Amino acid sequence: MANLNGFEGIHEECGVFGVYANSECNVATTTYYGLYALQHRGQESCGIVVNDDGLFRDYKDVGLVNDVFTPQVMSDLGLGNMAVGHVRYGTTGNGGRINAQPVVVRHIKGSMALAHNGNLVNSSELRQNLELMGSIFHMTSDTEVISYVITKERLETGSIEEALAAAMYKLKGAYSLVIMSPTKLIAARDENGFRPLCYGVRESDGAYIVASESCALDAVGAKFVRDLDPGEIVVFDKNGPRSIRDHCEKKPCKFCIFEYIYFARPDSVIDGDCVHEARVRAGACLAKKHPVDADIIIGVPDSGLDAAIGFSRESGIPNSIGFIKNKYIGRTFINPGQAAREDKVRIKLNPISSVVKDKRVVIIDDSIVRGTTSQRIVQLVRDAGAKEVHMRISSPPFLNPCYYGTDIDSRENLIANHHSVDEIAKIIGADSLGYLDMDDLGELAPNKHKCDFCSACFDGNYATMVPTSDKNRFEQKISENPEKAQKSYKN
């Protein structure tokens, strides 16, 4: 539900960030501002690791960036020439400080810090094999699995980039990585390119910046250079950037379409397409396919606002600010329990009664998962005096779980699997309901000619193997009770 989707089960991605400078400077502050710009991708925990001439100093904790990184913490992180950072909302493993990233590994050949966005589909198999070889796990997410696989390869190769290239043959699924060794910063993207990753350069000091989204480059004064290609490894060291393309063009590109619909910030540009414009196009497509006689268009903050602009332009119906969002409350999916989530709907969103009273209103939102949040939003607008309430959704219906980093975990919990569009409209209390058509997904990002989209959550066409039901149950058990799950899986 725009940025309220957590009520219903869509959890954020993670955000990764890295900086390589030619000399010692305040890389921690640069990383802080970069993570601040990526805060929308994860609000559960965050962390920064600074490299000071091979010495790693790190701090990570549960909470938002500006709460975790106090002036004292920033002072303790100190100066350096490299840093990696991460903001997290977990899609596998439980929450808490134990799963905060970046992961730091110290081994016989040196140290490594790793930040990861995505989800592996073979994490359970890799973890079991590593445990049988003596590896001891402290986290319940697949990021530690990735770090161990790379470390194992590092013990048998001559460089960290060789180790990563070898590890990528074993890693299946979605991963955008930023890795730091004592002398190098490395960025890598999985062969399908599920998740975004780009880099830029700051002209003021020549520092190279790696980030999940281009908005983080803007935040630290860096000029966008390019997106990493699927399967590409880029190494940043004293000689500048160097591309390793051994894994490129090995598999079809399957970039997550939901990045354009919901996850990415509107001011980010991904593979040549502005996210804001993609959402405006989605709104225009909705207006063409699902027109409605109405007096006013209102978007649900935040990602519904852009689609509302497109719907208004195409339909000619005026667009207005219809909801006031409380910006001083954490995203509602942080709070467990449906009752707590629902209580926060009214706290976080409040309709402007003078805008909707006695009007035929069209609400634009990005998705419906279980339907409970949509129901409460529709009711809020009716309570504010709307004469009619029509709902338009800038994505197709969710029908399948996602295994690549979006926490859509069960077909059973998806309302579209059990009800028709007309039935869903009645359940949420809307006078009518319309979804974006599957055929219109390709219209969202017309410049993305090199890459097809992953839309498996809508159509079930997965680009990789998917975990078996047993593995799914294992991951669920880990989330609910890590110690018990580990014991039962080994047995």
121 and 172 Cβ atoms separated by less than 8 Å? yes
126 and 473 Cβ atoms separated by less than 8 Å? no
Do the strands 233-237 and 240-244 form a parallel or antiparallel pair, or are they unpaired?
Answer: antiparallel
396 and 435 Cβ atoms separated by less than 8 Å? yes
Largest Cα–Cα separation, the chain: 71
If one counts every other C-beta atom within 10 angstroms of the C-beta of residue 278, the result is 26
**Which residue in the list 14, 256, 285, 454 is annotated as catalytic?**
14
| Cα 100–chain centre separation | 15
Closest CA to 118 of 86, 94, 148: 86
Cβ-in-10-Å burial (0-12, 13-18, 19+) of 138 comes to: exposed
369 and 9 Cβ atoms separated by less than 8 Å? yes
If one counts every other C-beta atom within 10 angstroms of the C-beta of residue 107, the result is 13
If one counts every other C-beta atom within 10 angstroms of the C-beta of residue 268, the result is 27
SS3 168: coil
User: Does the active-site annotation cover 14?
Assistant: yes
Catalytic residues: 14
